[in-house]
Each structure stands twice: as C-alpha cells, then as structure tokens.
Amino acid sequence: MEKRRVLITGGNKGIGLAVARAMLELGHEIVLVARDFSKCPLVGIANVTAIEYDLSNIQDLPTLAQEVGDIDILINNAGYMQPKYTYDNYPKEAKEHLMNVDLHAPVELMNLLSPYMKKQGFGRIVNTASIAGQIGHPDVWYGIAKAGLINATKIYAKLLGPNGITVNCVAPSAAQTDMQKDNDDARKAAFKAAVVTNRFAEPEEVAKAIVWLATDCPEYINGITIDINNCFYPR
C-alpha cells in the first residue's frame, strides 16, 4: 500500500486515536489536530505530528491548513455533545461552539484541504457523524450538526468525486469513549438497552470502518453513510 499523509482531527483519544494507531500500522504518516495532547500516547513517535488547535476557531482554519500542509486523507473525527442543555435552555455561545466544532470546521477543512487532492487526482475524506444525525436526539444541536455533516458528505462527494476524491461518513451509536462522562447512568443504560448486545461500541470497531473508507474502499463507494449501531437503527 502506498504511503499516504493522513490528517485526523480529534486524534488524541477515543475513535480518532484508534484510527491513528491503525493508520500507523499501515505505514502512513499521521497529522493529529486536537486541543490537548497531554494524555496522547502517540506524541513524539515516528511519523506522527501533533498540532494543538481549537477547532471552534473557524476564522484561523486557513492558518491551520497551511501548517498541516498537503494531505491525501482527511478524517474529520473531532466532535462533542452537550447533554446538560435542553432544547429550551441552550445558551447561544454553547450552540455556536458546538456547531463550529461538529459541523463548520469539518466543512471548512474539506474546502481548504481538497485543492491538493484535486490537483493530484486522488483523495479520501471520511467524516465521523452519528446516529444522532439520523434519529431524534435529546442533545438538539448535536443532532442537528451531525445531520448537517451527513448531508455535507453527500454534497462534497458529488462536488469532488469527478476529481478522484471519495467523501463518505460513519454514523456510530454510542461508543465507549470520553464522551460518556457527560451522560448520566440512566441515559447510558438506555443507550445500551437499545442495541442487541447491550454494550457500547468499542472505538476500534468504528475505526475499522473509517480506515476502510479511507484506504481500501473502492472509488465507486462515494457519498455513503455507514451505520454502526448494532440494530439501534436498522434500515
């Protein structure tokens, strides 16, 4: 397999870290973007570049893109939810911060990093959406952002596909990551009860789908969403 340069947002932990480890095993060069690398086990090892950046800062994304440089594979993985807020009590600042990280930043990174892919006639983009973007979700703006990312995936697949670039996404249900610390026990129990094996997805399970979409996936598979939800939302 040809060595590629891979950017993974939110690659310091959880699903993003699992993707980074898998890509390293395949021999690729990895660029990680996240707010905090203090607990990231990949910092300082060969073929890994770590860039500290807050993806809610949309204005300076062009500067980030310049620092990252040319890449072949973009994994828009960073995202978070805010279950402490309700639909009728969601502060404007909290809404805007979430939408920036979960939707606006991935779209802008596709805009900023696809020109090199177009120039070389090859690129792979994978967006980490969520089942929250497919069904009604109690964290209203998280669900809206992920639904937008699923739609953006379809749009950019059509726009970039003629240039040899595939754009796909995954939509996992709850996974065993740090995001679960924001959910109370009742909500976590409800998530588990909704799947047939009564457990959260492991980050590595989601990562396998992302890595396949970014590497071995045929070019004719473009603009799709892979459901990873263990019968939570079978269709």
Kindly list the catalytic residues: 142
- Give the CA angle between residues 65, 33, 226 to the nearest 5°: 100
The crossing angle, in degrees rounded to 10, of helices 203-214 and 14-25 is 50
- Give the CA angle between residues 29, 31, 32 to the nearest 5°: 135
In angstroms, the Cα distances linking 101 to 97, 109, 149, 161 are 6, 11, 11, 25
In angstroms, the Cα distances linking 109 to 24, 79, 86, 92 are 22, 14, 29, 24
